Structure 1
Amino acid sequence: MLKVSQQHLKLSALLGLIGLLINLYPIPLFGNVQLVLGNLFFVIVAILLGPWYALLCAAISSIGLIVSWSSIHVFLFFCAEAMWLGFTRRKDIYALYADIGFWLIIGMPLFYLYATNFSELPQSHLSFITLKQGINGFICAALGSLAVTVFSGFWYLKNKVRDKKRRTFHAQLTYSFTLVLTISLLSSALVFNHQVILKQQESLNQNLHDSAVHLGQATEVFLDTHKKAISNASQWLSLSQTDISGWQERLTKLHESYSDFISMIVTDSDARIIAATPLELLGSEKVKNKSFSVKDRHYFQEAFYKQQTFVSPAFWGRGFGTDPIVAISAPIYNGSDSVQAAGIIEGSLNLTSFVDIEQKNLVYEMQSMILIDENERIIYASKSLALPVLSKFESVESGKDYKTSLQLINLYNLNNPNPEFVYTNYQLNNGWKLYIVKPFSPLLKLLETQYLTTFTVLLLSLIITVIVTRVISTRLTDPLTMIANKFGDKGHKNAAAYHIDEESPQEFLTLYQSIKKSKQELISYQLELEEKVAIRTFELEKANKKLQSLAEKDDLTGLFNRRSAESRFKTTHNLCLRSDEVMVIAILDIDNFKAINDTFGHQGGDQCLRAIAKSMKLFFKRDSDVISRYGGEEFLLILPMTNPDMVEDHLNEFRLQIKRLVINPPNEETEIMMTVSIGAIVANANYSKLLEDWFRQADLNLYQAKNQGRDKVIVTKPPAPSDFNI
């Protein structure tokens, strides 16, 4: 029967709660892929306490993932993993090796089956997500094992799980190398893969943008060219003196010049067709008898009544056929009447012409084009998308929970949260919109390949590590025995004379003899070493003093930094307190410093900071004055033993000096003029022994100076507290 230890139970629950908190915030990698680190705590519990406590820890820590992922599958998988690690630990199997076995044999196959049957993940995502689960498990197992190894003194627990047999040196060395190698390789691979994916996203965004611009501009040029052709043709026909019966010939010649029009017509003022091409498709009798009317068509109404060149939305043609078309129309006038239109000329664009535009301008692989009109109807879509022309364009933004800079969209399964395409769009001048889309799955395939490569390299590295570390351990132990035997001249006889236990290994006995014989030489070396250490210690002390000096100064201005100023306040305050002297704490702040940075850049701002620092050193030049850069554009002055009646004039004199200061920033023609606001407090040293109290009053005065229009000095002289106690 399992005996429950309260100590083990509390530790398991505590580590489970820590894991729960960490699992509430998984680390996003790419898309909806996240790295989970809270599981390393049940790995620690499995190694130290066995399967049942590991199960408790895993159950608690999995709650964090259930909350963040809204999926209960993690409870099943991670509890099974914890139990597996706990039972294999009792078999003296290292946790990392056991975890690799779990995910290869049980974890990844089961997760793949679960995701296939019970999740909405598309098939293209499954391999990558499954592989990521395994790699996540390896990272947690390696980190947990390393924590147990490195902090072995921390895990002092009664009745914890122990090895049944003492492990060999080469086994321990191999496992240590494997842990370090696994963590290093997987961590670097994650960072590298993350950087690669970021670059891929940037490149893909740029490629999509370039394609959208090229195709959008090419489409606009195509439409403008044919729009201009119709407009010019309307002017040409309006100025023509030829009888209407002669327009048929002119229209036929015009159509020959613009083959992208599938058909062209001319109507009279009653919207009846009086000329058409190709004539054989409509029928010459219909044209001759004026029996075909287009009065109900938008392209007639817009061109005839509004008297403008009009590009229609896409619609189904009639008369010449039932092809989807876009009509471009313009009014025609009689030569003598330029006010009232006499009819229209119209050309029906062949939408298959957009295939040529796509092929000429779409240079990147796997990208597709969708062109929609102002009514959200599809004018053209790449063949690979299989979107019917003139159908309603339906799409939905997807991947809202994905960590990516890409714009993601679904065109088919609108309710699926997993994205189908990456996209960008381009707004045409006439209100049409052009989409460039690329399948999202190739990005996952790329990441899957990278992870698979990492996984393969990891397995190969582990095999090589086992072989190499065995060789290294043999090379360490065998020469040690040989050297010990070589320097031991009495062998292992009379072990008690050397204070060595009879059961100790021969190598230790022989090595002890050798060390004893070399004792005098070691003493001599020790004295020499101590002399060298003394010299080095002296040099180190000098270097430390120099480093301490550097640590007290601000790199940019050369003034004391904040920490140094706070330290020197205590010394200065004690000096003034003993001599019952007055001291001043002043805060100086550059007015509108952000505007200086925005106008002249950070180099200009840095030049202003250095200039003020130089002026402060020259103006406040007593040895006892403490001048420091307290943070950003704020400076702190500590002025001991000061005449209280002269403080405000003294600070105003410095304020005016800064106001007159002219700074010429590099590569700029404009000079920088700046002002400062100063808030100060002057009081006897027994006002307060805390810098915070002095600083608070000076800061209030600075705030008041800023509110009164800046470029001011405000000094207060609070009464010293009568009950101050040192």
Structure 2
Amino acid sequence: MAIRLSEEVTAHIEKHVHNYTNTPALFIEVNHAAIQSGVLDPTDHPKMTRYFWEQTQVSEAVPYVYYGNKQGDFIGVWKQSDELTTSRIRDTSTAPNREVHKLNDQGQPVQLLTTTAYDPRTRPWYQVAIAAGKAIWSPIYVFAGPPSLGITCTIPIYDASNSLMGVLGADITLTKLSEFLKQIEISDSGQVFIIERSGDIVASSYHEKPFILTETGEERLAALDSQNYLIREATQQVLQRFKSFEAIATPQRFSIRVEGQRQFIEVTPLNSQAGIDWLMLVVIPEADFTKYIRANNRMTLLLCLAAMITATSLGVVTSQWMAGPMRRLSLASKSLADQMTSTEFINDQRPQKVEGSYIRELGTLATAFNQMAMYLNLAFGNLAQMNAELEQRVIERTQAMEKANQQLERFIRLDDLTQIANRRRFTEYLEATWRLQLRSQKPLSLILCDVDYFKAYNDTYGHLAGDNCLQQIAQALITVTHRSADLVARYGGEEFTVVLPQTDLAGAQKVAEKLRQQVKELKIPHQTSEIADVITVSVGVSCCLVSQLFSIKLLLEKTDQALYEAKAKGRDRVVARSLC
């Protein structure tokens, strides 16, 4: 039973830690999508400051959100405490310095606090994001101000031409992560701590910091040097069993004895997010579980002994003429005990009532017994009602959280203008389809289409008309594809793409030609087009048998070449090229 309880506690803690570290990643994804869709302009510093300020008020897991671009500009908001939130800005007017302003409860700057030299391009969070080219957690490093150890969830932002614009980031200090672990209910003396593969502590529930203060700042604390004996012994046992932390790839459970006491240890890799490769160790003494079990057993035994002694004493002292009232009292006691071990109290069933007796003492005892049974029935009923209300609140909060997550996922993967799949969703789906067809080696076709002379259209009719044109084209493409496995997505700007799983080149050409005709039949006027008086599209098609001989990159390049050839041959046409 103690082992099962230990596993349940560990699973609960792992879920809490995952949710805590996943929150900054979700915020960064939302900010990335807002900038990519044009909702948020990174050059508008007042709007960015307000936007980041609102985010820091939402969750304690995201106290610091910021953005730095390749020109060295920087904008960030840090909620340092409930009483102090600051903005940090570096632009052409402050360079090479960064100004720190105090913000009021409306997110407006009210006081300049400090001015220090700062260049975001030299910081580890900026450099690791550029090197990875995708969302990633930085290694643990010393923050600029104030100097403290922490990690950053980052993501680079690129414009339509795939040129770097800047990097978004959200910080978590090791101290904050440790404070979060301290809030999780483990057991009376159990400990949970997170370490890197090197053995250095990332965070722990013990009341010590995951670093050592030196004259030069904060230095990492090794788990083997912890002040807590459970953390030291658990770390030593893991090293002895697996030789190195690098060898642990799956959750491991075992028990050890420390100072004569049995300790349950569970080691769980935390590597579900890019850049994070940690180990979470949960150490729970067996005594934390068994003492409650033993206490309940002792109390039950004492109650049984007390009831037996009382019944025996009354039976010896009283005479046979008391047998009737005593029998009724005994039956009522048994009924009350049975109800307390069943669901009758919870179902609000009234306990059996003891009738009064002509013997004054027994009458008094019967009255007290009836009152006790009534109070117990009322108490259990209230407890059941409170439990039901609490369960309902949990269900409602869970449903609200799931709904919010679904809306967030939809926002991240849907193009804001055309309401079809965006570039991110297209990339994920193409990679998943490639992996799925890799075993069967069936054909996979890809279509790229580009609106002809669309810039001229925007210059002539305006950007609102251009947006409406793209929306009509997107809906036209959807009507051409009929299979649930086909995906229509906005590739970027005026370019669209269609993924056709298990479709050969001939089949893809037919779909592409229908697509071209469908757009032309929209008859959207285009006076400045050099080939027609309505909107047209040029289409490139490519196909390959999914295998190790080819790659998604080759398929995209071949499709792009076909599109380029379609434009070169006069536009408003379909050109197909096969990799097979």
Higher helix share: 1
TM-score, scaled relative to structure 2: 0.35
TM-score, scaled relative to structure 1: 0.28
Higher strand share: 2
Question: Radius of gyration: which is bigger?
Answer: 1
